[in-house]
Amino acid sequence: MVVESFRLDGRVAVVTGAGRGIGAGIARGLAEAGAHVAVSARTESDLQAVAGDVEAHGRTALVVPGDLSDRETMVSLVASTVERFGRLDVLVNNVGGTGPAAFLDVSERSFERAFSWNVTTAFNMTQAAVPHLLDSDAAAVVNISSAAGRHASRGFTAYGTAKAALIQLTRHLAAELAPRIRVNSIAPGAIATEALAGILTEDLEEAMVAGTPLRRLGMVDDVAAAAVYLCSPASSYVTGQVLPVDGGTQASILDLGLPDLGPSVR
Protein backbone atom coordinates (compact mmCIF):
# COMPACT_ATOMS: atom_id res chain seq x y z
CA MET A 1 0.00 0.00 0.00
CA VAL A 2 1.18 3.50 -0.80
CA VAL A 3 0.69 4.91 2.69
CA GLU A 4 2.59 2.04 4.25
CA SER A 5 5.56 2.75 1.97
CA PHE A 6 6.20 5.90 4.02
CA ARG A 7 6.79 3.85 7.16
CA LEU A 8 10.27 3.35 8.63
CA ASP A 9 9.46 0.77 11.26
CA GLY A 10 12.59 -0.93 12.59
CA ARG A 11 14.92 1.31 10.62
CA VAL A 12 17.77 3.20 12.24
CA ALA A 13 18.61 6.78 11.31
CA VAL A 14 21.38 9.23 12.18
CA VAL A 15 20.54 12.94 12.04
CA THR A 16 23.31 15.51 12.45
CA GLY A 17 22.70 19.03 13.71
CA ALA A 18 19.62 17.62 15.42
CA GLY A 19 19.49 19.82 18.50
CA ARG A 20 17.24 22.50 17.06
CA GLY A 21 15.37 23.67 14.00
CA ILE A 22 15.25 21.55 10.87
CA GLY A 23 17.46 18.78 12.25
CA ALA A 24 15.32 18.36 15.36
CA GLY A 25 12.17 18.39 13.24
CA ILE A 26 13.53 15.70 10.93
CA ALA A 27 14.51 13.51 13.89
CA ARG A 28 10.99 13.79 15.26
CA GLY A 29 9.46 13.09 11.85
CA LEU A 30 11.55 9.97 11.30
CA ALA A 31 10.58 8.69 14.74
CA GLU A 32 6.92 9.34 14.01
CA ALA A 33 7.34 7.25 10.85
CA GLY A 34 8.78 4.41 12.94
CA ALA A 35 12.57 4.85 12.97
CA HIS A 36 14.93 4.68 15.90
CA VAL A 37 17.09 7.80 15.78
CA ALA A 38 20.62 8.76 16.81
CA VAL A 39 20.89 12.52 17.20
CA SER A 40 24.05 14.59 17.34
CA ALA A 41 24.99 18.24 17.85
CA ARG A 42 27.14 20.23 20.25
CA THR A 43 24.59 20.93 22.99
CA GLU A 44 23.54 17.86 24.95
CA SER A 45 20.56 19.54 26.63
CA ASP A 46 19.02 20.30 23.24
CA LEU A 47 19.57 16.73 22.11
CA GLN A 48 17.99 15.33 25.26
CA ALA A 49 14.83 17.32 24.55
CA VAL A 50 14.68 15.91 21.01
CA ALA A 51 15.38 12.42 22.33
CA GLY A 52 12.40 12.77 24.64
CA ASP A 53 10.19 13.52 21.64
CA VAL A 54 11.58 10.52 19.76
CA GLU A 55 10.85 8.26 22.70
CA ALA A 56 7.35 9.72 23.04
CA HIS A 57 6.65 8.08 19.68
CA GLY A 58 7.67 4.72 21.14
CA ARG A 59 11.09 4.70 19.45
CA THR A 60 14.58 4.52 20.88
CA ALA A 61 16.81 7.58 20.82
CA LEU A 62 20.59 7.71 21.09
CA VAL A 63 22.15 11.02 22.13
CA VAL A 64 25.70 11.56 20.89
CA PRO A 65 26.88 15.11 21.62
CA GLY A 66 30.04 16.29 19.89
CA ASP A 67 31.80 18.62 17.48
CA LEU A 68 30.71 17.49 14.04
CA SER A 69 33.44 19.48 12.33
CA ASP A 70 35.83 16.73 13.47
CA ARG A 71 36.00 13.56 11.35
CA GLU A 72 36.83 11.34 14.32
CA THR A 73 33.67 12.54 16.07
CA MET A 74 31.65 11.56 13.00
CA VAL A 75 33.26 8.12 12.84
CA SER A 76 32.50 7.67 16.53
CA LEU A 77 28.87 8.73 15.96
CA VAL A 78 28.40 6.06 13.32
CA ALA A 79 30.17 3.43 15.44
CA SER A 80 28.06 4.27 18.50
CA THR A 81 24.88 4.01 16.44
CA VAL A 82 25.76 0.61 15.01
CA GLU A 83 26.88 -0.63 18.42
CA ARG A 84 23.59 0.45 20.00
CA PHE A 85 21.17 -0.66 17.29
CA GLY A 86 23.11 -3.23 15.28
CA ARG A 87 22.41 -1.52 11.97
CA LEU A 88 22.22 1.77 10.07
CA ASP A 89 19.69 2.49 7.34
CA VAL A 90 19.37 6.27 7.03
CA LEU A 91 21.76 9.21 7.26
CA VAL A 92 20.55 12.80 7.26
CA ASN A 93 23.39 15.30 6.83
CA ASN A 94 21.79 18.40 8.27
CA VAL A 95 24.63 20.06 10.16
CA GLY A 96 25.81 23.26 8.51
CA GLY A 97 25.13 26.96 8.18
CA THR A 98 27.05 30.20 7.74
CA GLY A 99 26.00 33.75 8.47
CA PRO A 100 25.45 36.27 5.68
CA ALA A 101 28.08 38.90 4.85
CA ALA A 102 28.88 41.27 2.01
CA PHE A 103 31.40 39.81 -0.43
CA LEU A 104 34.28 42.14 0.51
CA ASP A 105 33.72 41.32 4.17
CA VAL A 106 34.13 37.57 3.62
CA SER A 107 37.61 36.43 4.62
CA GLU A 108 39.37 33.53 2.96
CA ARG A 109 39.16 31.67 6.27
CA SER A 110 35.40 32.15 6.61
CA PHE A 111 34.86 31.16 2.96
CA GLU A 112 36.80 27.93 3.49
CA ARG A 113 34.97 27.38 6.78
CA ALA A 114 31.65 27.53 4.95
CA PHE A 115 32.79 24.72 2.68
CA SER A 116 34.14 22.66 5.56
CA TRP A 117 31.04 23.06 7.69
CA ASN A 118 28.47 22.52 4.92
CA VAL A 119 30.18 20.16 2.48
CA THR A 120 33.13 18.38 4.06
CA THR A 121 30.97 17.34 7.01
CA ALA A 122 28.53 15.61 4.65
CA PHE A 123 31.43 13.98 2.79
CA ASN A 124 32.98 12.65 6.00
CA MET A 125 29.71 11.48 7.54
CA THR A 126 28.66 9.68 4.39
CA GLN A 127 32.05 8.03 3.97
CA ALA A 128 31.92 6.80 7.57
CA ALA A 129 28.37 5.53 7.17
CA VAL A 130 28.57 3.79 3.80
CA PRO A 131 30.13 0.49 4.95
CA HIS A 132 27.17 0.04 7.31
CA LEU A 133 24.54 1.39 4.93
CA LEU A 134 25.59 -1.28 2.44
CA ASP A 135 24.20 -3.87 4.85
CA SER A 136 20.74 -2.29 4.67
CA ASP A 137 18.17 -3.34 2.10
CA ALA A 138 16.80 0.22 1.88
CA ALA A 139 19.66 2.61 2.57
CA ALA A 140 19.17 6.33 2.06
CA VAL A 141 21.25 9.47 2.52
CA VAL A 142 19.63 12.91 2.57
CA ASN A 143 21.70 16.09 2.44
CA ILE A 144 20.07 19.31 3.64
CA SER A 145 21.10 22.03 1.22
CA SER A 146 19.32 25.36 0.75
CA ALA A 147 17.50 27.52 -1.76
CA ALA A 148 20.65 29.68 -1.46
CA GLY A 149 22.44 26.89 -3.30
CA ARG A 150 20.01 27.25 -6.21
CA HIS A 151 19.40 31.02 -6.37
CA ALA A 152 21.93 33.85 -6.19
CA SER A 153 21.58 36.56 -3.57
CA ARG A 154 23.78 39.29 -2.16
CA GLY A 155 25.31 38.39 1.16
CA PHE A 156 25.44 34.65 0.57
CA THR A 157 28.63 34.18 -1.44
CA ALA A 158 30.09 31.74 1.08
CA TYR A 159 26.95 29.97 2.25
CA GLY A 160 25.25 29.80 -1.14
CA THR A 161 28.33 28.53 -2.93
CA ALA A 162 28.85 25.86 -0.27
CA LYS A 163 25.24 24.73 -0.49
CA ALA A 164 25.50 24.55 -4.28
CA ALA A 165 28.55 22.35 -3.83
CA LEU A 166 26.53 20.14 -1.48
CA ILE A 167 23.92 19.71 -4.19
CA GLN A 168 26.61 18.62 -6.63
CA LEU A 169 28.11 16.29 -4.02
CA THR A 170 24.67 14.73 -3.72
CA ARG A 171 24.59 14.01 -7.45
CA HIS A 172 28.07 12.52 -7.48
CA LEU A 173 27.37 10.33 -4.45
CA ALA A 174 24.13 9.13 -6.00
CA ALA A 175 26.11 7.92 -9.02
CA GLU A 176 28.92 6.44 -6.91
CA LEU A 177 26.68 4.59 -4.46
CA ALA A 178 23.95 3.29 -6.80
CA PRO A 179 22.29 0.87 -6.79
CA ARG A 180 22.73 0.00 -3.10
CA ILE A 181 22.34 3.45 -1.53
CA ARG A 182 20.06 6.28 -2.63
CA VAL A 183 21.33 9.84 -2.14
CA ASN A 184 19.12 12.91 -2.42
CA SER A 185 19.02 16.49 -1.22
CA ILE A 186 16.42 18.86 0.17
CA ALA A 187 16.76 22.57 -0.59
CA PRO A 188 14.64 24.45 1.95
CA GLY A 189 13.61 28.01 1.31
CA ALA A 190 12.66 30.44 4.06
CA ILE A 191 11.85 28.19 6.99
CA ALA A 192 10.68 29.68 10.30
CA THR A 193 13.58 28.60 12.54
CA GLU A 194 15.66 30.33 15.19
CA ALA A 195 18.42 30.84 12.62
CA LEU A 196 16.11 32.79 10.30
CA ALA A 197 14.64 34.72 13.20
CA GLY A 198 18.12 36.02 13.94
CA ILE A 199 18.17 38.10 10.74
CA LEU A 200 14.44 38.65 10.21
CA THR A 201 12.76 42.03 10.63
CA GLU A 202 9.04 42.62 10.28
CA ASP A 203 9.52 44.38 6.94
CA LEU A 204 11.83 41.68 5.63
CA GLU A 205 9.39 38.94 6.61
CA GLU A 206 6.54 40.74 4.84
CA ALA A 207 8.65 41.07 1.70
CA MET A 208 9.62 37.40 1.81
CA VAL A 209 6.04 36.26 2.23
CA ALA A 210 4.94 38.53 -0.62
CA GLY A 211 7.66 37.05 -2.85
CA THR A 212 6.64 33.46 -2.12
CA PRO A 213 3.92 32.02 -4.37
CA LEU A 214 2.39 30.12 -1.43
CA ARG A 215 2.38 33.38 0.58
CA ARG A 216 3.89 32.09 3.80
CA LEU A 217 7.18 31.10 5.36
CA GLY A 218 7.90 27.39 5.51
CA MET A 219 7.57 25.37 8.70
CA VAL A 220 10.04 22.84 10.04
CA ASP A 221 7.47 20.10 9.52
CA ASP A 222 7.40 20.92 5.79
CA VAL A 223 11.04 19.89 5.58
CA ALA A 224 10.58 16.94 7.94
CA ALA A 225 7.83 15.54 5.72
CA ALA A 226 10.10 15.77 2.68
CA ALA A 227 12.84 13.99 4.61
CA VAL A 228 10.51 11.16 5.60
CA TYR A 229 9.61 10.71 1.94
CA LEU A 230 13.23 10.62 0.76
CA CYS A 231 14.30 8.31 3.59
CA SER A 232 11.44 5.85 3.13
CA PRO A 233 10.58 3.17 0.55
CA ALA A 234 8.06 5.65 -0.88
CA SER A 235 10.98 7.18 -2.79
CA SER A 236 12.67 3.91 -3.70
CA TYR A 237 12.98 4.95 -7.36
CA VAL A 238 14.41 8.40 -6.57
CA THR A 239 18.11 9.20 -6.32
CA GLY A 240 20.43 12.05 -7.24
CA GLN A 241 17.61 14.59 -6.96
CA VAL A 242 17.15 17.94 -5.25
CA LEU A 243 13.73 18.47 -3.71
CA PRO A 244 12.97 22.18 -3.21
CA VAL A 245 10.81 22.92 -0.18
CA ASP A 246 10.53 26.63 -0.79
CA GLY A 247 6.93 27.64 -1.38
CA GLY A 248 7.43 27.75 -5.14
CA THR A 249 10.05 30.49 -5.27
CA GLN A 250 12.07 30.77 -8.48
CA ALA A 251 14.59 33.31 -7.23
CA SER A 252 16.01 34.52 -3.94
CA ILE A 253 13.49 36.31 -1.74
CA LEU A 254 15.97 37.24 0.99
CA ASP A 255 17.11 40.80 0.27
CA LEU A 256 19.45 42.01 3.01
CA GLY A 257 19.58 45.47 1.47
CA LEU A 258 23.28 45.38 0.69
CA PRO A 259 24.17 48.37 -1.49
CA ASP A 260 25.87 48.45 -4.86
CA LEU A 261 29.65 48.74 -4.65
CA GLY A 262 31.00 52.21 -5.32
CA PRO A 263 34.34 53.40 -6.75
CA SER A 264 37.45 52.10 -5.04
CA VAL A 265 39.06 54.32 -2.44
CA ARG A 266 42.85 53.98 -2.50
Mean pLDDT value across residues 194-213: 86
Mean pLDDT value across residues 188-217: 89
Cβ–Cβ contacts within 10 Å for residue 138, how many? 16
CATH architecture of 3-245: 3-Layer(aba) Sandwich (3.40)
Coil, strand or helix at 140: strand
Side by side, which strands form the sheet with 181-188? Answer: 61-63, 36-40, 12-16, 90-93, 139-144, 181-188, 242-245
The yes-or-no verdict on residue 265 having pLDDT over 60 is no
Tell which residue, 233, 173, 158, has the closest CA to residue 1. 233
The single residue of 117, 123, 156, 159 carrying the catalytic annotation is: 159
What CA–CA distance (Å, rounded) separates 87 from 183? 18
Is residue 266 very low, low, confident or very high in pLDDT (cuts 50, 70, 90)? low
159 assigned to active site: yes
Whether residue 247 contacts residue 224, with contact meaning beta carbons closer than 8 Å, is answered with: no
What CA–CA distance (Å, rounded) separates 36 from 143? 19
Strand partners, 63: 39
What CA–CA distance (Å, rounded) separates 118 from 233? 27
Q: What percentage of the chain reaches a pLDDT higher than 90?
A: 89
Whether residue 61 contacts residue 51, with contact meaning beta carbons closer than 8 Å, is answered with: yes
The yes-or-no verdict on residue 144 having pLDDT over 80 is yes
Question: What was the pLDDT predicted at 189?
Answer: 95
User: How many residues make up the chain in this entry?
Assistant: 266
Question: What was the pLDDT predicted at 219?
Answer: 97
Question: Which DSSP letter does residue 218 get?
Answer: B
User: Where along the chain do its domains lie?
Assistant: 3-245
What CA–CA distance (Å, rounded) separates 104 from 92? 33
Q: What percentage of the chain reaches a pLDDT higher than 70?
A: 99
